[in-house]
């Protein structure tokens, strides 16, 4: 059984409080589809409300710590501890009534990832990790997959949408990976993609032009589950560069050659 630290309990409490409202809001999305603008505005409000709840709860438990927020930007704290938060990773899925989205919360101390949670409130799957304590899905210890052959492996990525760069480049990457693997999935939530690599559901994941709050918690999950992480250049500046390749380790070099 996983040992629950005080830090985990603080994070878990904040995430689950934010999730309650988010699940209620998700239940209302279907009724708003008759008005695209109304639904979009509603989801934006749900996103902001979830972030506000997370900030309030984490600030109450750990006053003085800073924040890096998707919606609210950077809030300076003690100069050492920073919460990195995406209150709704998978906004487009949420907007369309697709139950694949997550709350992602990570803690940095002096730029070192100490803890992370990626929580899908619809499925009640909480992927969590603390540095040196392994990665977990609820009460089950996680390990990356053991697959060594590309043709048996399943990969995930993110695809740019309107207004985002590198459409042709990304499609070319997907084509190369598709040609030698069991498939490529585009699920719409980077934090859950990384969590799925940690859980062995995906054998690898790559994405460019990705924000720190989309990947921070997921990076720690993959690392603590025994996986391998680099940026597209083979270094370890994922959050600084805004790109990531994550894998079970066995396939990392192959994946990097295909998408590099």
Dihedral sign for Cα 141, 147, 150, 152, please: negative
Q: What is the pLDDT of residues 176-232, one digit of tens each?
A: 999 999 999 999 999 999 999 999 999 999 999 999 999 999 999 999 999 999 999
For residue 39, what are its two tokens?
Answer: 């639904």
For residue 85, what are its two tokens?
Answer: 């938060």
Q: How confident is the model at residue 108 (pLDDT cuts 50, 70, 90)?
A: very high
Instruction: With a cut of 90, say whether residue 3 has pLDDT above it.
Output: no
Structural contact between residues 243 and 129, judged by C-beta atoms closer than 8 angstroms: no
pTM for the whole structure: 0.95
Same fold, 6-141 and 150-259: no
- Over residues 38-45, mean pLDDT: 72
Instruction: Give the per-residue pLDDT at 162.
Output: 84
Instruction: Give the per-residue pLDDT at 29.
Output: 78
Instruction: Give the per-residue pLDDT at 80.
Output: 97
Helix (H) or strand (E) holding 213: helix 212-224
Q: How confident is the model at residue 2 (pLDDT cuts 50, 70, 90)?
A: confident
Sheet of strand 81-89, all strands in order from the earlier edge strand to the far edge: 73-75, 66-69, 81-89, 102-109, 112-120, 125-130, 135-137, 140-141
Instruction: With a cut of 80, say whether residue 33 has pLDDT above it.
Output: no
Q: Where are the domains of the chain?
A: 6-141, 150-259
- Over residues 109-124, mean pLDDT: 97
Q: What is the pLDDT of residues 74-106, one digit of tens each?
A: 999 999 999 999 999 999 999 888 999 999 999
- Over residues 102-124, mean pLDDT: 97
We find that the CATH architecture of domain 6-141 is 2-Layer Sandwich (3.30)
Structural contact between residues 59 and 65, judged by C-beta atoms closer than 8 angstroms: yes
What percentage of residues in the chain have a pLDDT greater than 90? Answer: 85
CA-angle at 250, arms to 247 and 252, nearest 5°: 45
Structural contact between residues 112 and 244, judged by C-beta atoms closer than 8 angstroms: no
Write out the E strands in the chain. Answer: 66-69, 73-75, 81-89, 102-109, 112-120, 125-130, 135-137, 140-141, 154-157, 183-185, 204-208, 228-230, 243-247
As a whole number, the mean pLDDT across the chain is: 94
Name which residue leads in pLDDT, 72 or 109. 109
Query: Does 150-259 carry CATH code 3.40.190.80?
Result: yes
């Amino acid at each position: 059984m996983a040992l629950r630290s005080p830090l985990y309990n603080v994070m878990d409490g904040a995430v689950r409080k934010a999730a309650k409202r988010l699940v209620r809001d998700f239940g209302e999305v279907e009724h708003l589809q008759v008005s695209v603008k109304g639904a979009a505005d509603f989801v934006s409000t749900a996103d902001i409300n979830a972030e506000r709840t997370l900030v309030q709860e984490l600030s109450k438990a750990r006053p003085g710590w800073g924040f890096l927020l998707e919606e609210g930007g950077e809030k300076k704290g003690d100069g050492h501890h920073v919460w990195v938060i995406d209150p709704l990773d998978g906004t487009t899925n949420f907007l369309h009534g697709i139950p694949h989205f997550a709350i992602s919360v990570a803690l940095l101390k002096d730029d070192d990832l100490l803890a992370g949670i990626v929580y899908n409130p619809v499925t009640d799957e909480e992927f969590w990790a603390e540095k040196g304590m392994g990665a977990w899905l609820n009460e089950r210890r996680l390990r990356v997959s053991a697959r060594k052959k590309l043709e048996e492996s399943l990969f995930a990525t993110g695809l740019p949408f309107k207004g985002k760069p590198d459409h042709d480049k990304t499609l070319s990457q997907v084509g190369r990976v598709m040609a030698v693997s069991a498939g490529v999935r585009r699920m719409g939530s980077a934090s859950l993609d990384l969590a799925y690599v940690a859980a062995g559901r995906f054998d690898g994941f790559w994405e460019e032009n990705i924000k720190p709050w989309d990947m921070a918690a997921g990076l720690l999950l993959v690392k603590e589950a025994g996986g391998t992480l680099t940026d597209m250049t083979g270094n370890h500046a994922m959050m600084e560069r805004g790109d990531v390749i994550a894998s079970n380790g066995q396939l990392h070099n192959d994946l990097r050659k295909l998408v590099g």
